[in-house]
Amino acid sequence: MNYARVIGCGGYLPERVMPNSELEDLVDTSDDWIRTRTGIRQRHIAREDETTSEMACNAALGAIDMAGIEAGSIDLIIVATSTPDLIYPSTACLLQKRLGIRNGAAAFDVQAVCSGFIYALSIADQFIRSGTMRRALVIGADMNSRILDWTDRTTCVLFGDGAGAVILGRSDEPGIYKTLLHADGSYSEHLQVPSGVSNPTADPYIRMHGNEVFRFAVQAMDEIVDETLADTGFTRKDINWLVPHQANLRIISATVKKLGMSMDDVILTVAEHGNTSAASIPLALNTGVRDGRIRQGDTLFMEAVGGGFTWGSALIRY
């Protein structure tokens, strides 16, 4: 039986840190409001000349190094992003070029907003389980600062930039036990960037109905816990770490309550990173692994909700 197993992870955050105090100069907000409502203290903001593929490459190099593999042994590259460098080629192809991978590895992007990493992980898992691929580089990378309206206090305080990466290898033992993917496009107007290729004149910034997103996220995360554990033989007590999408501390707290866990069992990065969309789960994983909290054999529960709405989860043995 083939399973996909995480054999390395990496993360990258732009050098520039923007504390909440800096936002107080831009919009009518306060450090206290942002902390109380979201848990965010600061976020990282990319340089003007930085690109999503460059951030992805920095994260990938860390994961490749930890896995102890040659980049040329990767046969699948998936980048989850809503902020690609170009309309095409895909950010995954541009990353492949940066990494100097010329072995014909498949490379493509996945667009599922904040759930993008879970979607990409699930796709890579299917390829490895089926025996089609041996080794995958799975990335979440987003440069939200480019699509923020810095005069809109309801959105600009929430997001940050970054990239996270994992290498998945083929293994006889799990690995990824289960992934779940969901979407309901009827909610599309609650969180969107209205401009696009076929509608280029529309508003190019993130627009959000925060209360609707919040309500949906709490409900969806509540339901996905039982749905994920069903038929796996796992109970909530078997989960060592919750590695959630880092949008808002209050959404995460609701999932923690549902799992009967304590906040000490959560890898939390939202205070330092803000919401980095598709990057937030692999960045949190990288943080927990590199500071020694997540150890080999630990059981991890990952979950995310994003624009679409999309949502999903992954149950993993690290």
Rule CB under 6 A: is residue 111 a binding residue for ligand ACO?
no
Pairing relationship of beta strands 106-110 and 135-143 according to DSSP bridges:
unpaired
245 is catalytic: yes
Point out the catalytic residue in the list 114, 248, 273, 286.
114
d(C-alpha 57, C-alpha 10), whole Å? 10
Among 168, 217, 259, 300, binds ligand ACO (CB under 6 A): 217
Among 17, 31, 37, 180, binds ligand ACO (CB under 6 A): 37
**According to DSSP H, which parts of 68-187 are helical?**
91-99, 116-129
**Residue 249 host element (H or E):** helix 249-259
User: Please, what is the minimum distance in Å from the beta carbon of residue 154 to ligand ACO?
Assistant: 4
Which range binds ligand ACO by CB under 6 A, 41-49, 172-180, 242-250, 281-289? 242-250
User: Please, what is the minimum distance in Å from the beta carbon of residue 301 to ligand ACO?
Assistant: 16
**Cβ closer to ligand ACO: 170 or 245?**
245
Who contacts 290 (Cβ-Cβ below 8 Å, separation ≥6)?
9
Cα–Cα distances in Å, from 152 out to 28, 88, 147, 158, 304?
Answer: 9, 29, 12, 11, 24
* Minimal CB distance residue for ligand ACO: 210
**Cβ closer to ligand ACO: 166 or 213?**
213
Which range binds ligand ACO by CB under 6 A, 103-111, 178-186, 244-252, 264-272? 244-252
114 is catalytic: yes
**According to DSSP H, which parts of 171-248 are helical?**
210-229
User: Please, what is the minimum distance in Å from the beta carbon of residue 299 to ligand ACO?
Assistant: 24
Apex 25 CA angle, 23 and 30, nearest 5: 55
Letters for 150-189 (x = contact with ligand ACO by CB under 6 A, - = none) are ---xx--xx-------------------------------
- Asked if omega into 19 is within 30° of 0 (cis), the reply is no
Rule CB under 6 A: is residue 275 a binding residue for ligand ACO?
yes
Largest CA distance in the chain: 57
Point out the catalytic residue in the list 245, 248, 273, 286.
245
Rule CB under 6 A: is residue 213 a binding residue for ligand ACO?
yes
Cα–Cα distances in Å, from 301 out to 153, 170, 206, 239?
Answer: 32, 20, 28, 7
Rule CB under 6 A: is residue 41 a binding residue for ligand ACO?
no
Query: Can you read off the two tokens belonging to residue 132?
Result: 């089609």
Point out the catalytic residue in the list 144, 248, 275, 286.
275
User: Please, what is the minimum distance in Å from the beta carbon of residue 68 to ligand ACO?
Assistant: 33
Rule CB under 6 A: is residue 211 a binding residue for ligand ACO?
yes
The interface with ligand ACO within residues 51-110 (CB under 6 A) comprises: none
End-to-end CA distance of the chain: 18
User: Please, what is the minimum distance in Å from the beta carbon of residue 29 to ligand ACO?
Assistant: 3
Q: Which residue has the tokens 């039986």?
A: 1
**Residue 43 host element (H or E):** strand 42-45
The sign of the torsion formed by the CA atoms of 66, 71, 77, 80 equals positive
> Catalytic amino acids?
114, 245, 275
Which residues of this protein are in contact with ligand ACO, per CB under 6 A?
A: 29, 33, 37-38, 114, 153-154, 157-158, 191, 208, 210-211, 213-214, 217, 245, 247-248, 275, 305-306
